[in-house]
Amino acid sequence: MLTNNKNVLQWVDEMVALCKPDKVVWIDGSEEQLNALRDEAVSTGEMMRLNEEKLPGCLYHRTNPNDVARVEDRTFICSVKEEDAGPTNHWKDPKEMHAMLTPMYDGVMKGRTMYVIPYSMGPIGSKMSKVGVEVTDSIYVVLNMDIMTRMGKQAFVQLGDTSNDFVRGLHAKADIDPEKRYIVHFPEENMICSINSGYGGNVLLGKKCFALRIASYQGKNEGWMAEHMLILGIENPQGEVKYICAAFPSACGKTNLAMLIPPEVYAKKGYKVWTVGDDIAWLRQGDDGRLWAINPENGFFGVAPGTNVKSNPNALHSTEKNTIFTNVAINNDDNAVWWEGLDKNPPVNATEWKGAKVNGPEYIADGNKLAHPNSRFTAPAKNCPCISPEFDNPKGVPISAIVFGGRRAKTAPLVYQSFDWKHGVFVGSIMASETTAAAAGAVGVVRRDPMAMLPFCGYNMGDYWAHWLEMGEKLGDKAPKIFNVNWFRTDDEGHFIWPGFGDNMRVLMWILNRCEGKADAVETAIGYEPKPEDINIEGLDITVDTIKDLLSVDKGLWKEDAQGIEEFYSKFGSKLPAEMKKQLDELKARLA
């Protein structure tokens, strides 16, 4: 046994009695044990080794074609009271859900091995970290959790011998039956159940399930925040680093921003960008009264298609060793990986993501994809060329600014700042974007996604906004400033006007200058905007007039948007904080 913690031992015994595995293996995190598991996964065909010279230590896995993305319609929050889950989550009574799930897990691991995975979300030794224990019958899960978390014996040291504060995770592949697929959270029981899936987002229970859905609920009760945010640091030529947290719905350039490469105008002066996290931030008030953040994860679970040397070189470099690739294509000539958007040369001798041998260029010409649009890489964070020296700092990093953003063709300007924290919570609550392939469902529909947390908030979103407002009260004048950005304004032909990618740093520099009182702003109906000349466009093929255009606020469009916000807010009934209603009314008055 790796622990004497009676709470853990008792729970694992219960899970063994329920699932009835042939064998139980406790994961200690040693390289020796992991290598044996890799060998076993390769020998059974569950995984495949890739080219050792090009991609040392890398493995390939394909999931069942019916199991390739998060399934929001099969994802439940089971709180005792329905109103505590709120109108944006699927709810079922915990007793009913247990009554349905328990028979599904009964004997589900007969003939299989149960792996017991202890893991820490956050650096070992940090007061901000939390521990989980996931039991699973999937080696794929063990090997991914090794990359994504601090996994093994050390997590039990973090937990201690008496604590009961650990998140219980039960995962069984079962038959990978989509009709019986359930991803279920019991926030009041600190428990997650996943069955009939083998896809990362549904089975790596430390990720969205624990780090956002369960942790957001814990944060509300314990006075901290779990947010769907990247964390990046910008170092100036004097060596000072300022940190920003930013929330974007999927496919809005979050990973690209997290791993931003400074444009030449800043690079040659000695500016650097450091990645602390690309997806999730846990935020707490520090001893100095400021807001501090850690990245609870230890790796990147990134979307492969579209990742290339131009769009995100740092992400690409992160995948060059000890990475697990899921549902991408294989180039059979060199046993390496390929996906749409990697380069313009699809392999002729290819294996597409479902396993068929095809001629890549011909296959694509017929309208097919070689890699699944939501295919993934699981890469160790320490592989990233710009990983922050503070990545493992148990204290985390102090946050100067919080940035929200969506994908709007015409409505939102390039950047604006909220009037204050309360208005900033309003700005986060009205985020909207067009849907993408990362979640199953229709593509291109405008969808409200407050703080990019709609699919990930483990309790009622009305209470969540109230918690944000409380955090603001607590932080007082030490609270980070709040901003909104939109890299996706288009011209009348539908082309993006702003260059994006590394040039987004030009906007971040104005944001940091505002935080330090070094930049002016213009008051508009929606918030404070930069003076067009205060956005550095040196070296860009655009003019100050273009910036003026990107900052324009069309009151007609905003009035329409205000109606959409009102409709969205109406879902929350009495749970909508009065402050949010007040902020909406004030916006309407300013627009009028």
Binding site: residue ranges? 70, 199-201, 208, 228, 250-256, 279, 374-376, 407, 501-504
The dihedral over CA atoms of 296, 301, 307, 313, expressed in degrees to the nearest 10, equals: 40
* Cα–Cα distances in angstroms (integers) from residue 85 to residues 369, 455, 565, in the given order: 38, 12, 20
φ, ψ of residue 64 to 5 degrees: the values are -60, 140
Residue in 448, 410, 447, 427 with CA at minimum distance from that of residue 526: 427
Q: Which residues are annotated as a binding site for Mn(2+)?
A: 208, 228, 279
324 forms bridges with which residues in the sheet?
59, 378
d(CA 330, CA 204): 24
User: In sequence order, what are the residues at sequence separation of 6 or more whose Cβ sits closer than 8 angstroms to the Cβ of residue 269?
Assistant: 237
Q: Which residues pair with 376 in a beta bridge?
A: 303, 326
CB contact burial 522-554 (16+ within 10 A = b; e otherwise)? eebebbbbbebebbbbeebeeeeebbebbbebe
For the chain, the residue count is 592
CA distance 351 to 361: 12
**Binding-site positions for substrate:** 70, 199-201, 250, 374-376
Burial-class residue 162 by CB neighbours within 10 Å (0-12, 13-18, 19+): exposed
- 3-class SS letters over 11-69: HHHHHHHHHCCCEEEECCCCHHHHHHHHHHHHHHCCCEECCCCCCCCCEEECCCCCCCC
Asked whether 537 and 507 are in contact (CB, 8 A), the reply is no
For 560, the token pair is 């329409």
Residue 415: CB atoms within 10 Å? 27
The DSSP code for 164 is -
Beta-carbon contacts of residue 32 (< 8 Å; ≥ 6 apart) = none
Output the six-digit token pair for 115: 């792996």
Q: What's the CA gap between 281 and 296, in Å, rounded?
A: 7
384 catalytic, yes or no?
no
Note whether 185 and 209 are within 8 A (CB). Answer: yes
Going by C-beta distance under 8 Å and a sequence separation of 6 or more, which residues neighbour residue 167? Answer: 130, 131, 132, 133, 190, 191, 192, 205, 210, 214
**Residues 6+ away with beta carbon under 8 Å from 69:** 199, 201, 374, 437, 438, 439, 440
Catalytic residue from among 78, 209, 252, 515:
252
The residues assigned a catalytic role are 252
